[in-house]
Amino acid sequence: MIKNFFDSLNVSYKEDISLKNYNTYRVNTICKFLVFPKTIEELKLVLDYLRENNIKYYILGNGSNVILSMDYYDGVMIKLDNFNSVIYKDNLVTAGAGYSLIKLSLDTIEKGFSGMEFSAGIPGAVGASVAMNAGAYNSDISEILKEVTVLTPDNEVKIMKNSELEYAYRSSFLKRNKKYIVLDATFELQKGNSEEMKELVEERKQKRIASQPLDMPNAGSVFRNPEGGYAGALIEEANLKGYNINGAEVSTKHANFIVNKNGATGKDIISLIEKIQKEIKEKYNIELKLEQIIVR
């Protein structure tokens, strides 16, 4: 029994828990087990057990880029919140996979390091953000990442250099190869002026507050911008702002955001996405590609 296994390992876990507070859409999926390994060894043992027993699992970061599509997740969600160390060495900073990217960005700015300013508004964890190649303002993680420590599909700890990670726009080897798990990441930064960086971050924050529905549950941009255009502009032109399916609504503030206005499920969000894709295809013959990840 999985519970006996978790108990014997003394690993921290929750059973039949709502994931509402673990995804930024605030979708109320119930998860059979949510587990919080404390060490690499514990993580390895958990993965061995799950794989041997054919139990499905998912590595969940801050849940700020996922759509939980099911009412009940009959498996194990693994959270690396305890992988939260931060170590500075000269101009290098190594952060655990569970550490908040926003916090890391602000910490480095405070210490007078430049490079992470772009990430001060991205509410992800370091591990997922490295895999997703998160970015903003024409910069992304791949520009500052030196190397990552990963757990390979064979449960081996390995260091992978930036050049091995096949980085491209919001994409990487790690995103495509889901059995690799980021344990920590080392970023290479430059000396910078804290005060100037703080001003820049504050200015951008105010712009985001003015243009994005940050006061409502959402998971960032829904679609990638199609070549030469903006997904939000197309959706707005198609008169879909405010379109609502069971509480999932195209934001009236920014059309490339879907907000969970009133108890929407993952299925409602996906229905709305499909509706938008259909309309945009019919009206403009453009296929909008999803930026968010559907967890099935």
Ligand X SMILES: Cc1cc2nc3c(=O)[nH]c(=O)nc-3n(C[C@H](O)[C@H](O)[C@H](O)COP(=O)(O)OP(=O)(O)OC[C@H]3O[C@@H](n4cnc5c(N)ncnc54)[C@H](O)[C@@H]3O)c2cc1C
Residues lying near ligand X in the complex (CB under 6 A): 24, 58-66, 80, 97, 121-125, 127-129, 131-132, 134-136, 174, 181-182, 214, 218-220, 293
- Which listed residue (188, 237, 279, 291) is catalytic? 291
Kindly tell me which of 186 and 218 has the beta carbon lying closer to ligand X: 218
- Which listed residue (100, 105, 221, 251) is catalytic? 221
| H helix intervals, the chain | 2-9, 40-52, 101-110, 126-132, 173-176, 194-211, 231-237, 266-284
Kindly tell me which of 283 and 296 has the beta carbon lying closer to ligand X: 296
Kindly tell me which of 29 and 90 has the beta carbon lying closer to ligand X: 29
- Whether 170 is a known active-site residue: answer yes
- Whether 291 is a known active-site residue: answer yes
Compute the least distance from the CB of residue 118 to ligand X, in Å.
8
Kindly tell me which of 19 and 93 has the beta carbon lying closer to ligand X: 19
Compute the least distance from the CB of residue 131 to ligand X, in Å.
4
Neighbours of 157 (CB within 10 A): 11
Q: How far apart are CA 47 and CA 80, in angstroms?
A: 13
Q: In this structure, are residues 77 and 60 in contact, taking their beta carbons and an 8 Å threshold?
A: yes
Tokens found for residue 91: 């101009």
- Whether 143 is a known active-site residue: answer no
Place of tokens 């000396």: 191
Partnered with residue 77 across adjacent β-strands are 34, 58
- Which listed residue (164, 170, 236, 279) is catalytic? 170
Compute the least distance from the CB of residue 150 to ligand X, in Å.
7
Partnered with residue 295 across adjacent β-strands are 68
Compute the least distance from the CB of residue 189 to ligand X, in Å.
18
Q: How far apart are CA 116 and CA 108, in angstroms?
A: 7
Active-site residues, by number, are 170, 221, 291
